[in-house]
Amino acid sequence: MIAEVYPIKRLPRSMHAFDYKIPNEIQVVRGDLVEVPFRGSTLFGIVRLVKDRPERGIKIKELIAKGSIQLREEELSFFEWMAFDLAQSCSSVLHMSLPLPPKRGDTSYTPTVGTGSVTLPRSEADVLTRMIHSVKDRRELFLQIPDLKRMTATLAAYCATEPDEKVLVIVPTVQAAKAVYDCLSFLDPIVFTADQTNNERYRRWIAFRKRKSGVMVGTRIAALLPHHDLTTIFVLQSGDANHKQSDRNPRYDTRYLLWELHNRIHSNLFFLDVSPRLEDLSWFADLERRVWSRSHPASIVDLNTERRESEHPLFSQTLQRIVGETLEEQKQVLCVLNRKGTAARLFCQDCSFRFPCTTCSTGMAVRDQMLHCPRCLDSRPLPSKCPECKGVNLIELGIGIDGLCTVLKALFPSATVQSLSKDIDLKTVSEAQILVATQSYLDQMKPIQTEPLGLIALIDADQTLYIQDTRSIEETIRAFEQWRGVALNTGARFVVQTHEPELFSTILGDPEALLSREWESCRDYGLPPFRRWVRISRKEEEVRKLEVVFHQLQKELATIPTVRSRKPELVNGGMQFFCSVEPEHAETLLSFFTDLPDHYIIDTNVFP
């Protein structure tokens, strides 16, 4: 008898299973873990299938031993689907996903004891009860919940009322995993994250695999362990970018994989976040979305009307007054200005014209002496005068946290002002009366048990509107709701400064209408979920060589129905291009990638 085996090792996408002779004393079936000889060493592998005999004339090696693990059919077929969908070899996907048995030592799991808990104000008890009833009545649901604390409370209440279920909880970061674990300690959860050693992950995986019920909390790597007996999957902060692995192979989106998994094993699937993504509107119908009814008030400051009376164009008189009141109350002020990844905007000082895109009306960003639209990718030269009033008093609005600190020190000379970015520890600046922070504040703060604040002010809430990203509106909504959730959790007043007050009024009053317009824009511009987009890149110093091979590749892609390709562009050390296909023809496109050489880096699920 012959076993076809997937070696658990990084292998080129064109390599599949290898044949091994099964010794008489060993019995194996599909899904068994085995040890095999491979290129002068010994590896673990997973049996793909067992057959009667090899192809004629081929001398093959024998299996060495059989392991103690067997993947069920639902699990192994999921890995095989994943490999095809990600344009990777199944061996590489197994290598990324499965922790391997330790060579020596104890494989038993010793749980640790958490010390935290999660409590909500009594006034929100009815809201929580309503959420739990909704979850119990649905197999698929999106829950719009303002912060991680309330997401964790919802999760804890569900698990407490459904003690016989086997639950997988996926969070975006190790910090969030530890915080959620701490609050669920009464359930004896198992934590599974990428910062653990292989041996630690193996012990935890086997321990959870043996349980008939229980909870596993993990980062995206935990989503790659497809337990066939899972009853429910929760994805917390489901819109967070960390749910996708974009920087190394295999490039995968946890949310997309879990959607497929829950359909294969018939589990429940619940996404929890401050606002839905456009993909969520596709996956979860109107009847499958619920909103946490208790929200936090927000004050919107129109910078257009206040700019002439203010001492700085990005610090209004209204905000200056509110900061002063907060300091008098001896409460801390948090000013948020996320300078990373943003571009300056062109602004007419005479008439406040903001240079919208002539194609789709989105605000345009200044970069390399050009105006660029983040949505439709249109661009045009930087003008010398305003098309509205013909004035020439044009300025590029944009300020960093250091510049804002200088402004605040001048406005409030008696207050201590400090800045926080990713290279500064929050503990070293936590006593400042005014703290100027980037998005790194969210990365460093305690996500559930937070310290009280007096005021959270978004200094320039329009920043995300001008990033070079077709998700700019979606990201603006998410950032707004994320910081509003922090304000709710810390008891802080929430103030938003903007040149687009109507947009933020819509976010407050009718965000569904705004997302619906974005949905229609995605349809018009052929963006996900209406078309599936793929990015193909290659590292090569010779630009001309890349141009030739990419031209040939795009020519071959053009033979696939509905495929469209964008013009290749230079990136650091190489070149890339995007192509898209209608969903019903995606399988044909993915099949094309199966035998493509590995020097092509393929991300099969991108939002261009």
The arithmetic mean of pLDDT across residues 181-203, rounded, is 93
pLDDT at 558: 96
**Does residue 343 register a pLDDT over 50?**
no
pLDDT at 563: 97
Tell me the C-alpha to C-alpha distance, in Å, between residue 197 and each of 193, 200, 566.
9, 5, 41
Lowest mean pLDDT among 95-104, 444-453, 574-583: 444-453
What's the CA gap between 153 and 119, in Å, rounded?
7
What's the CA gap between 512 and 8, in Å, rounded?
45
The arithmetic mean of pLDDT across residues 365-380, rounded, is 77
The arithmetic mean of pLDDT across residues 219-226, rounded, is 93
In degrees, rounded to 5, the angle at the alpha carbon of residue 357 between the alpha carbons of residues 354 and 363 is: 45
pLDDT at 54: 62
**Does residue 450 register a pLDDT over 90?**
no
Residue with more model confidence, 56 or 125: 125
What's the CA gap between 494 and 455, in Å, rounded?
6
Confidence of residue 342 (pLDDT cuts 50, 70, 90): very low
What's the CA gap between 418 and 406, in Å, rounded?
10
Confidence of residue 280 (pLDDT cuts 50, 70, 90): very high
**Does residue 34 register a pLDDT over 80?**
yes
Confidence of residue 348 (pLDDT cuts 50, 70, 90): confident
And the tokens for 500? 């687009």
Query: Phi and psi for 534 in degrees, rounded to 5?
Result: -130, 140
Query: Phi and psi for 249 in degrees, rounded to 5?
Result: -80, 150
The arithmetic mean of pLDDT across residues 138-154, rounded, is 95
What's the CA gap between 85 and 252, in Å, rounded?
9
Tell me the C-alpha to C-alpha distance, in Å, between residue 341 and each of 279, 385, 606.
23, 27, 18
pLDDT at 106: 62
What's the CA gap between 480 and 3, in Å, rounded?
55
**Does residue 441 register a pLDDT over 90?**
no
Confidence of residue 137 (pLDDT cuts 50, 70, 90): confident
Contact between residue 267 and residue 232 where contact means Cβ atoms under 8 Å apart: yes
* Alpha helices (runs of H) in 37-119, residue ranges in sequence order: 73-85, 90-97
The arithmetic mean of pLDDT across residues 437-462, rounded, is 86
* Domains of the chain with CATH codes: 2-97 (3.40.1440.60), 122-291 (3.40.50.300), 299-342+398-521 (3.40.50.300), 532-606 (3.30.70.1440)
Confidence of residue 114 (pLDDT cuts 50, 70, 90): low
Whether the model clears a pTM of 0.85, i.e. scores above it, the answer is yes
**Does residue 476 register a pLDDT over 90?**
yes
And the tokens for 491? 């008891």
pLDDT at 375: 67
The arithmetic mean of pLDDT across residues 215-229, rounded, is 94
Mean predicted lDDT score pLDDT of the chain: 90
pLDDT at 238: 97
What's the CA gap between 480 and 463, in Å, rounded?
11
How do residues 7-28 score in pLDDT, each as one tens digit?
A: 999 999 999 999 999 999 999 9
How do residues 66-88 score in pLDDT, each as one tens digit?
A: 998 999 999 999 999 999 999 99
Strands 370-372 and 379-381: antiparallel
**Does residue 365 register a pLDDT over 80?**
no
**Does residue 340 register a pLDDT over 60?**
no
How do residues 501-551 score in pLDDT, each as one tens digit?
A: 999 999 999 988 999 999 999 999 999 999 999 999 999 889 999 999 999
pLDDT at 397: 67
pLDDT at 419: 87
